[in-house]
Amino acid sequence: MNLELAIKKASLTLKNHNIVSHELDAQILLSNIMGIEREFLITNNQINISEKIKKKYEIAIERRVKREPIAYIIGKKEFWSESFKVNQSTLIPRPETELLIYKVINFFRNKKISILDIGTGTGCILLSILKELSSSRGLGIDISAKAIEIAKINSNNLNLSSRAKFKVFDLNKFNTGKYDLIVSNPPYIPSGDIRNLSKDITNYEPLAALNGGSDGLDLIIKVIYKSDHLLKREGLLALEIGHNQYQRVSSILKRNGYREMTKVYDYKRNVRCIIGTKIKFFKSKK
């Protein structure tokens, strides 16, 4: 069987199971198995594939039929022009999160800063920032030991292990250091909305990294309160937030002595990120 026929067959199988990106997924899976660029498949589509490759391809397609995300099947996801290792102990990095990184880098370009990434997962936020801020250092923390293992692998792969450290920590018990920048993409989906997410997400991604409590703000509030003790004066807190959460999060920040520096809109014109600076250091009530 040649490349063209194999891809057509696989694409049709995915299409018949209502996978919208059936052709692209079929190409990505085969190119990954063969260790070649996707473009090669298109320009050399008459090349025959071995039975060994064919069997691996069939297994990968069957996994996709069951709605397993492409990133978990191939074990990686591109983010900030780098390849990050992922598995089911970490959320899959989303392109919207890159918007936060753009803003943060513009604030601190050519500066030497210390960074804390709360709920680091794959480490993609911290590592992407450090890639651009070459004199800076950072610490990523996560309650999941398995996620921290992945973050450390990504740090090594990107040659950033000398400037990036990753540790298992429960945020409630973390009180180490003072930071110029705290970043976090915490769980922010309301508990009742989890069931409405696609099967690709609910059946495979770690729900603990998605569930933000009844209103989606439990972890966001915890990060804001904790940052009281961890931010340097005039340091920045950069948060990714969910749909329709901007007004409430902005209000919570103001009540806790933060001045909003900027907000970042995603591709659907929703406020996806909010960045504030600590101007008053006091312990306030909710």
Which domains are seen in the chain, by residue range? 3-66 (1.10.8), 79-278 (3.40.50.150)
What DSSP string runs through 2-34? BHHHHHHHHHHHHHHTT-TTHHHHHHHHHHHHH
In the numeric block, the tokens 């397609």 are attached to 61
User: pLDDT, tens digit, for every residue of 149-198?
Assistant: 999 999 999 999 999 999 999 999 999 999 999 999 998 888 988 888 88
Alpha helices in 209-262 (DSSP H): 218-230, 246-255
Please tell me whether residue 216 adopts helix, strand or coil conformation. coil
3-state helix, strand, coil in the chain (%, to 5): 45, 20, 35
Residue 167 φ/ψ region, left for φ over 0, alpha for ψ in the -120 to 50 degree band, beta for the rest:
beta
| Closest C-alpha to 91, from 212, 8, 9, 177 | 212
User: pLDDT, tens digit, for every residue of 26-84?
Assistant: 999 999 999 988 888 888 888 899 999 999 999 999 999 999 999 999 999 999 999 99
* Residue 115 and residue 183 in contact, taking contact as beta carbons nearer than 8 Å: yes
Please tell me whether residue 160 adopts helix, strand or coil conformation. coil
| Closest C-alpha to 237, from 215, 252, 218 | 252
